[in-house]
A and B are shown apart, each in its own frame.
Chain A
């Protein structure tokens, strides 16, 4: 996959996040790393930064000094108790006395596991430094946050985004047209991993890559058309909207939290009267909270759809 092939190997090769890269370089220079939280939206280089840091620090044999764990796959407390501890307490051989533990998608860790992690971090600081990677640092418990240096990653600016994609296009001999590049940015919104995946899928068609190609790829890759679902609901067709929701969750495996995040974004992009946007956001917020507490994502989200049906109805009444 090109996203892997063109993943920067060293901090110098990183496309953006200049400030962050600068601070990480100082870690390398001083041969010391503090516990870190890398927070930011997907595809902005968090994992890459962690890997680059390790490589710059330990050299090409960096693999022996770091461990990557993914909280989405192994989110329970037992992982912290066993895997993490076992790795953390053994001293690293070599010039640098500590190892690095990368906990990816750590906002998906259960709070029990986070509590257990907190003590592990403290106890084994000598032998192991932790890099927690998350989309939202808010989902990481306070005591851990206070032990970590925060790094906030932001979406790539347009210039850097374009530069990186053009580089790939050149190396892979692609005919990437300007409007195709525009479309990638619009569809992926600066999420570089997604942008590269989109580019590669577009390249598989063996055609000049223009906006039309990109839109069709994006449509096929993510049938989770939240906007359409909202429109269906607000138009009054609850059953159809619920069916679309069900397809997203069951057929395409979209997570409930992703759907509600997109709904929230779409609310403010929609054409409903301004005061209504806040009302709808309030509804979304309530359901978002219940999603965490509840047991069944579809039930929660379809309660939200029913509220949208109601809102659509009230809107038509008042007009």
Chain B
């Protein structure tokens, strides 16, 4: 009765594993290849974010193929010593009971430096000499620590399954548990999990267990109490808090840089406060937070920080007057941070052209790059003769010519004229 649903409803067969169909086929093909002798890679390295079915896949496979699964995970000691002892098992394909054997080393991310000393090295040794399929699992296969190990493995990436797949799995659980759930409620849970099936099932159990019926309103509240360490949870707390104190508390829990958190809030507020009045007052609060940021910059008095926090948390939370909670709205990564890093090089180029213009035209480089450069761009795209003359007069280098012309082909004509 009280068993965790993640265990109780764990897929027993590969057929039931959520999503990643192609990936699983690749994995199965590799396991099957053992039938024809030891393949090139003796180990498969399954990696991907947590809760999307890596371990479950291996277990289901062992079940489907009637293989003996020998497993070690982070809870076991994994020093060189311990792993070597384990190695003997890997030295033969057939197991004592006539079936075939598959070895699973789970949660490799957990191989910590000192306690599991030499663990990676010992793992490599096992993989090199294994006589049966070895499966390694980690969240991040590209951790530098695994760089040598990777050479001996076939890498198989597990991706987050789409919400639809997660929903299918949840529906299956509903049937088995005999619970009636509104479609929208399931959708909400599935989307919120962002592909983490395990957490979706956990959330679902927390909400639905012992109930006969689950409505959309029941699940909405899920959004408010959540894993505190994630930025999403912090954002949710801030944007949906009913009290100033509640919103401010979120910052204390957040293990994120305050500037970064500001960017997250700034990015996501519009989607979550859709009423025009609410949006205006939330943005006004962020504007005031920014004013205090400017004041700190000018006075170097960091005690103003508290007002920044007030405005960016409580100010945003209190803005919600008319907007109704409207189901699951995903949080987005701050776009401008993405854009800023992309356009940095471009702005540097613009400014360096600005300095060239400045030398001839009695304007500041800053203004030249804004006011004059756009016209140069038009000229360089359309008229190689005029462009060449200008390039010579302004003493532009080849990179600048190419930038202004917009393409290698166009800049070639200009450069030919120059030489």
Chain A residues in the interface with B (C-beta under 8 A): 1, 3-4, 42, 47, 51, 68, 70-73, 104-105, 108, 193-194, 197-198, 200-201, 203-206, 217, 220-222, 236, 238-239, 242, 246, 250-255, 258, 287, 290, 293-296, 298-300, 302-303, 305-307, 309-310, 312-314
Which chain A residues border B276 with CB–CB below 8 Å? Answer: 236, 306, 309-310, 312-314
B343 within 8 A of A: yes
How far apart are B277's CB and chain A's nearest CB, in angstroms? Answer: 6
B358 within 8 A of A: yes
Does B280 lie within 8 Å of A310, measured CB to CB? yes
Of B2-10, B69-77, B368-376, which stretch is located at the interface?
B368-376
CB closest chain-A residue, reference B378: A201
Does A300 lie within 8 Å of B290, measured CB to CB? yes
How far apart are A169's CB and chain B's nearest CB, in angstroms? Answer: 15
Which chain B residues border A108 with CB–CB below 8 Å? Answer: 364
User: Which of B290, B291, B346, B374 has a CB less than 8 Å from the CB of A222?
Assistant: B374
Which chain B residues border A42 with CB–CB below 8 Å? Answer: 371
Give bound CA distance, A310 to B294, whole Å: 26
Does B364 lie within 8 Å of A295, measured CB to CB? no
Which chain B residues border A206 with CB–CB below 8 Å? Answer: 382-383
Which chain B residues border A258 with CB–CB below 8 Å? Answer: 370
How far apart are B193's CB and chain A's nearest CB, in angstroms? Answer: 25
Q: Which of A3, A204, A236 has the most B CB atoms < 10 Å from its CB? A: A204
Which chain A residues border B357 with CB–CB below 8 Å? Answer: 1
Which chain A residues border B365 with CB–CB below 8 Å? Answer: 70, 72-73
How far apart are B278's CB and chain A's nearest CB, in angstroms? Answer: 9
| A293 and B295 contact, Cβ closer than 8 Å, known pairs A1-B372, A250-B339 | yes
User: Which of B270, B366, B377 has a CB less than 8 Å from the CB of A242?
Assistant: B270
Does B280 lie within 8 Å of A309, measured CB to CB? yes
Q: Which of A71, A108, A201, A252 has the most B CB atoms < 10 Å from its CB? A: A201
B340 within 8 A of A: yes
Which chain A residues border B393 with CB–CB below 8 Å? Answer: 1
Does B277 lie within 8 Å of A310, measured CB to CB? yes
Which chain B residues border A200 with CB–CB below 8 Å? Answer: 375, 379, 386
Which chain B residues border A73 with CB–CB below 8 Å? Answer: 358, 364-366
User: Which of B270, B291, B375, B382 has a CB less than 8 Å from the CB of A197?
Assistant: B375
Give bound CA distance, A251 to B370, whole Å: 11
Give bound CA distance, A124 to B85, whole Å: 87
| A104 and B287 contact, Cβ closer than 8 Å, known pairs A310-B277, A313-B276 | no
B362 within 8 A of A: yes
Give bound CA distance, A198 to B369, whole Å: 15
For chain B, give the interface size range: 35 or more
How far apart are B416's CB and chain A's nearest CB, in angstroms? Answer: 17
B284 within 8 A of A: yes
Does A246 lie within 8 Å of B360, measured CB to CB? no
B244 within 8 A of A: no
Which chain B residues border A217 with CB–CB below 8 Å? Answer: 375, 378
Which chain A residues border B382 with CB–CB below 8 Å? Answer: 204-206
Query: At the interface, is chain B mostly helix, strand, loop or mixed?
Result: helix
Chain B residues in the interface with A (C-beta under 8 A): 266, 270-271, 276-277, 279-280, 282-284, 286-288, 290-291, 293-295, 297, 335-336, 339-340, 343, 346-347, 350, 357-358, 360-367, 369-372, 374-375, 377-379, 382-383, 386-387, 390, 393-394
How far apart are B373's CB and chain A's nearest CB, in angstroms? Answer: 9
Does B297 lie within 8 Å of A221, measured CB to CB? no
User: A3-B361, A220-B374, A299-B290 provided; 20 other pairs, C-beta below 8 A?
Assistant: A70-B358, A71-B364, A73-B364, A73-B366, A105-B364, A105-B367, A201-B375, A203-B386, A204-B379, A206-B383, A246-B339, A252-B370, A287-B287, A294-B290, A295-B290, A295-B294, A300-B287, A303-B286, A306-B276, A309-B280
Does B343 lie within 8 Å of A294, measured CB to CB? no
CB closest chain-B residue, reference A308: B280
Does A293 lie within 8 Å of B287, measured CB to CB? no
Does A4 lie within 8 Å of B361, measured CB to CB? yes
User: Which of A1, A251, A309 has a CB less than 8 Å from the CB of B343?
Assistant: A251
| A205 and B383 contact, Cβ closer than 8 Å, known pairs A73-B358, A246-B335, A246-B336 | yes
How far apart are A287's CB and chain B's nearest CB, in angstroms? Answer: 7
Does A293 lie within 8 Å of B294, measured CB to CB? yes
Give bound CA distance, A296 to B286, whole Å: 10
Does B362 lie within 8 Å of A68, measured CB to CB? yes
Which chain B residues border A299 with CB–CB below 8 Å? Answer: 266, 286-287, 290
Does B363 lie within 8 Å of A104, measured CB to CB? yes
User: Which of A70, A105, A221, A300 has a CB less than 8 Å from the CB of B374?
Assistant: A221
| A307 and B339 contact, Cβ closer than 8 Å, known pairs A51-B362, A70-B364, A299-B266 | no
Give bound CA distance, A205 to B343, whole Å: 29
| A298 and B374 contact, Cβ closer than 8 Å, known pairs A104-B364, A250-B343, A309-B280 | no
